[in-house]
Amino acid sequence: MSIDPALLQRANAWLQEPFDEATQLEVRRMINSDPKSLSDAFFKELSFGTGGLRGLMGPGTNRLNIYTIRAATLGLARVLLKQSTNPSVFIGYDVRHHSKEFAEEATRVLTANGIRVYLTKEICPTPLVSFGCRFYRCSAAIMITASHNPSNYNGYKVYWSDGGQVVAPYDQEIIDEVRKIAIDQPIALSPLDSPLIQWVGDKLDEAYLAALKSLQLHHASPIKILYTPLHGTGIRILPSALNSWGYSDLHLVEEQKKPDADFTHASSLNPEEEKALKLGQEKQLQIKADLLIATDPDADRIGIAVLHQGKSVILTGNQIACLCLHHICTTLHSREKFPSNAAFIKTIVTTELFRKIAEKFGGLCVDVLTGFKYIGQQITLWQDTHQYLFGAEESHGYLFGTLVRDKDAINSSCLIVEMAALAKKQNLTLIDCLHQIYQTFGLHRESLTTLSLEESAICALMQRLRNAPPTSIADVPVEKFQDHQKASSLPKSDVLRFWLSDGSKLVIRPSGTEPKLKIYGEIVQENSQDIQLGDARLKALIEGFLKENINSL
């Protein structure tokens, strides 16, 4: 396999200082004997996107390593120094290979530029980074994590002073500064004994737990809980959080409780996927735990399985969202403490049942684009006008209250356990509670279909749907069509929404990270609780759309 001359030139630049000896040896090995790996590692620069960096670890411009971390951090430092004369940054990291090293490299760059850093002494869940940013009143924060990606990935997330993921205009300013930095040029570094570094330990956990306790709505009642952190950061604080709320009958999935960069006993790290909960479900049935909780490696997303009629039943992200929302609203309303300016947030692909519940109780519900950073942004925009209570995205991310500005699986776990314990006290399960919600608001069934397609095919399809939107889907008339690249209350985005005459909904959007098309479907049955019928209607809706629009590609 021949090597492209331009690519070889980029690789050759890594055979000298400032690159360390181990890096140079690996690059030389790829040049001499592994041109395929060389091409993948150097064919482009790992782009700093609106949420930061994420990619495979290793030497190369298209990899996450100390050099790409340094360049990203220098770009962030330059923006911070434009904004403030005395900026500070909170930094946390997960269990992955090199996460601590990357966090320390970011610290060294920031302190070399005169910026104070609050660096965690140990692994740190993502919600604690958002909380820490706010608690220490920092200008920004960095979390080193690749969330639920495989073990050979890592990432670099940036937060702003409100504790939310960085959004416009600052995200673009950081991107612009990072692009100006030549990765093969030396970047100033300070030692890790710099007086500008403050090491963060138990004080942060104690502050978070105290603040979290203030959100408790009901006194604890007995419930048996099984928890798996999937080898991730949740083990640091979730057991303490549940105990602080009075829930002490907690058991662990032993094989998955230990922090492990290789995630040895977890076949999936994504709590949206059944296989991530499989080991936990087996133990749940063995010990008859009322509730199984699984958090992803950085503990911002959560998966749930309920013991119902002798079976372990997994709840979807939409179902968890609606149960939590209904629990919050019902409790506050019954105590006459439901705020007159109560406000709730969901993403545009999250179930419309969420809106029905919020509005039934008199709350405002708004849609934001996919991505929890937009929920965090909306909370900040509301701080003087509305009282935000709860926000959700269908991909298992939730936030109750405003302690943090990102999805929080620690916070969510406490709320869900409280809800399940209250149901158990009434001889019910969360499945029973869900059916009660359906009886009141109508049956809602949702699905996500993901198609792997060539990028050109995805672009052509989106353009065709945009220029000539279908007037019916699966023989059901389209009542309303929304193109979010055009005039909208939301920022422009490559998303199409179809509202059908029978109350069903389709949302079509390309994946932001890979060549895939995502199709979100939802059906509504106002006067029927027949789940099988609902699922058949949902299947017909999706299959109809595919037949009419995809099969011809």
3-class SS letters over 440-492:
HHCEEEEEEEEEECCHHHHHHHHHHHHHCCCCEECCEEEEEEEECCCCCCCCC
Coil, helix or strand at residue 188: coil
| Predicted pLDDT at 529 | 84
Among the options 139, 147, 268, 395, which is catalytic? 147
Buried b (16+ CB within 10 A) or exposed e, 472-484: ebbebeeeeebbb
Distance in angstroms (rounded) separating the CA atoms of residues 507 and 449: 10
What strands, in cross-sheet order, belong to the sheet with 476-483? 443-452, 516-525, 505-510, 496-500, 476-483, 472-473
Q: What tens digit of pLDDT does each residue of 479-533 get?
A: 999 999 986 788 889 999 999 999 999 999 998 777 899 999 999 998 888 899 9
- Over range 168-174, report the average pLDDT: 91
Q: Which residues contact 294 (CB under 8 A, 6 or more apart)?
A: 227, 228, 229, 230, 271, 276, 277, 280, 302, 303, 304, 305
Tell me the average pLDDT of the chain: 95
Question: Strand runs (DSSP E) across 175-290, as ranges?
Answer: 197-200, 225-228, 250-252
Q: How far apart are the first and last CA of the chain?
A: 33
Distance of CA 537 to the CA centre of its chain: 30
Beta carbons within 10 angstroms of residue 468's beta carbon: 8
Check pLDDT > 90 for residue 142: yes
| Predicted pLDDT at 240 | 98
Coil, helix or strand at residue 380: helix
pTM of the predicted model as reported, rounded to 2 decimal places:
0.96
Distance in angstroms (rounded) separating the CA atoms of residues 228 and 181: 41
| Predicted pLDDT at 284 | 98
Sign of CA dihedral 456, 462, 467, 470: positive
Please, what CATH class does the domain formed by 44-200 belong to? alpha beta
Q: What tens digit of pLDDT does each residue of 346-374 get?
A: 999 999 999 999 999 999 999 999 999 99
Share of the chain above pLDDT 90, in %: 90
**Furthest C-alpha separation in the chain:** 73
Distance in angstroms (rounded) separating the CA atoms of residues 343 and 340: 9
- Over range 87-113, report the average pLDDT: 98
Residues listed for the chain: 553
Known catalytic membership, residue 501: no
| Predicted pLDDT at 83 | 92
Q: What value, to the nearest 5°, has the Cα angle with vertex 216 and ends 213 and 217?
A: 160
φ/ψ of residue 2, rounded to 5: -75, 150
What strands, in cross-sheet order, belong to the sheet with 225-228? 250-252, 225-228, 291-295, 302-308, 311-314
Fold of 317-440: Alpha-D-Glucose-1,6-Bisphosphate; Chain A, domain 3 (3.40.120)
Banded pLDDT at 1 (limits 50, 70, 90): low
Banded pLDDT at 46 (limits 50, 70, 90): confident
Check pLDDT > 60 for residue 553: no
Specify the DSSP class assigned to residue 341: T
Strand (E) or helix (H) holding 32: helix 21-33
Share of the chain above pLDDT 70, in %: 99
The lowest-confidence range among 295-304, 336-345, 418-427, 521-530 is 521-530
Sign of CA dihedral 212, 213, 218, 224: positive
Domain ranges of the chain: 44-200, 206-310, 317-440, 443-549
- Over range 243-265, report the average pLDDT: 98
Three-state SS sequence of 69-117: HHHHHHHHHHHHHHHCCCCEEEEEECCCCCHHHHHHHHHHHHHHCCCEE
Distance in angstroms (rounded) separating the CA atoms of residues 311 and 309: 6
| Predicted pLDDT at 528 | 84
Q: Fold match between 317-440 and 443-549?
A: no
CB contact at 8 A, 294 and 266: no
Please give the structure tokens belonging to residue 219.
């006194």
Banded pLDDT at 168 (limits 50, 70, 90): confident
Banded pLDDT at 266 (limits 50, 70, 90): very high
Distance in angstroms (rounded) separating the CA atoms of residues 238 and 245: 11
Fold of 206-310: Alpha-D-Glucose-1,6-Bisphosphate; Chain A, domain 3 (3.40.120)
| Predicted pLDDT at 134 | 98
Strand (E) or helix (H) holding 293: strand 291-295
- Over range 40-58, report the average pLDDT: 86
| Predicted pLDDT at 297 | 97
Q: What is the homologous superfamily of the domain 443-549 according to CATH?
A: Alpha-D-phosphohexomutase, C-terminal domain (3.30.310.50)
Banded pLDDT at 441 (limits 50, 70, 90): very high
